[in-house]
Amino acid sequence: MTTDKAKVKLEKIRLKFFLLRELVDIRAILADRLFFMKLLSDAFKAALEKEVLTLTWCWLVERKDGVKLGFTAFDLPLLIDGVVYQPTTGFSPGAIQTSQGTDNIDTQNLAGILDATGISERDLNAGLHDCAKVRIFLVDYTNSPTDIDLVPPRHLEMSMGLFSGIKKSDRGFEIQTKSKLSLMENNIGEATSQTCRTWLGSPACGVNLAPYTHNLTVTAIANNRIFAVDGDLADKYFDRGRLIFTSGENNGVERDIAFYVANQIILLEPLPFAVFPGDTLTAIAGCAKTKLACLRYNNVRRFQGEPDIPTNDKIIDTPTER
């Protein structure tokens, strides 16, 4: 059986396990055990045949910055595929709501206690877990897999998706996840636009950002959204630009810039933490996404908009009286 075919069959059989709530229910759910057993490694087959189950939950969270966090319901750390899965009693999955058809998206809620060594309040506020990937699976803690992508597998994949919403309270957090099928909700292809559809420095744009990237230092603060920086750049230089903090409480936090005037940066959204004089950041110039703006970068030939296409207003417009 090829790897691709095996993965397809595993995806189909995974749907049979969405109603799994407790480990003791595994044998009751394995109604079609003969077919199911063919898809697993011999080691995991043996684990399912034990009179006393030695299975435990594992969660793998992979953030957009590449950081991987592992958690397990077992009371000791587990090393799986180079990631240490830390034991936690405050991180538990809710029931997986699943449905058939491409119009419905599998969802699940993950509840947990805020922990500075795992999913911390600071990282949540900084948006580091936004759209993070999450995999939830069962392993035999007496013989954990060395690679969770091996075929045949030595684990049982229960859910795979993306963080889609985070609610935080004083006690902890609740994260809603959606399956990768949710990506089908995204628009495919491009629609016409009066302004440029791409962003400055993208492959479609082709502008080299190096000359337009500046390392700045905060000199004065009005609040977490408005602050002054050093440098002597023209007003509007950073309008619609982007920045990332490289030190201070907001280190690693990215934000879009709304306006830049008189050495003062105004962000679209406030920063999650306090800003102080001396904090450093890297800011990238913005683009108004017009043909005139493209002239600034000598890049009109790559303009990705259609400003000359008549709009709906033009279609219904009537001749003016002379």
**38 lies in the same domain as 127:** yes
Domain end: 134, 168, 183, which one? 183
End-to-end CA distance of the chain: give it in Å, rounded. Answer: 78
Per-residue pLDDT at 114: 56
* Residue 160 confidence (pLDDT): 73
Which residue, 135, 168, 183, sits at the end of a domain? 183
pLDDT at 192: 80
Contacts of 93 (CB under 8 A, 6+ apart): 57, 59, 108, 109, 110, 136, 159
Whole-number Å distance between alpha carbons of 100 and 109: 19
What is the model's pLDDT at position 22? 40
DSSP state, residue 12: H
Number of domains in the chain: 2
Sign of CA dihedral 295, 296, 302, 305: negative
Q: Are residues 14 and 163 in the same domain?
A: yes
Domain that holds residue 248: 210-302
User: Do the domain assignments include residue 288?
Assistant: yes
**Assigned token pair, 241:** 């630009």
Could you tell me if residue 320 is inside a domain?
A: no
Distance CA 255, CA 87 (A): 34
With respect to residue 202, please indicate whether it lies within any of the assigned structural domains.
no
* Helix%, strand%, coil% for the chain, nearest 5: 20, 30, 50
Paired tokens of 50? 């034990």
Structure tokens at 299: 């890049």
Q: What is the torsional sign of CA 26, 28, 29, 34? A: positive
- Domain end, chosen from 141, 167, 183, is at 183
- The pTM (predicted TM-score) of the whole model is 0.57
E strand residue ranges, the chain: 55-62, 68-72, 78-80, 83-87, 92-93, 107-112, 133-140, 155-168, 173-179, 213-221, 226-229, 242-245, 254-261, 264-267, 280-284
Per residue of the chain (322 residues), what is the pLDDT tens digit? Answer: 455 555 545 544 443 344 344 444 444 444 444 444 557 777 887 777 787 788 888 888 888 888 888 888 888 999 988 899 988 755 555 544 444 444 444 555 566 655 645 777 777 777 777 778 888 888 888 888 888 877 778 887 777 777 766 776 665 666 666 665 555 555 666 778 888 988 899 998 999 999 999 999 999 999 999 999 998 899 999 999 999 999 999 998 899 999 999 999 999 999 988 999 999 999 999 999 998 888 888 999 999 888 888 777 666 666 665 4
pLDDT at 257 (0 to 100): 96
Residue type, 38: K
162 & 221 share domain = no
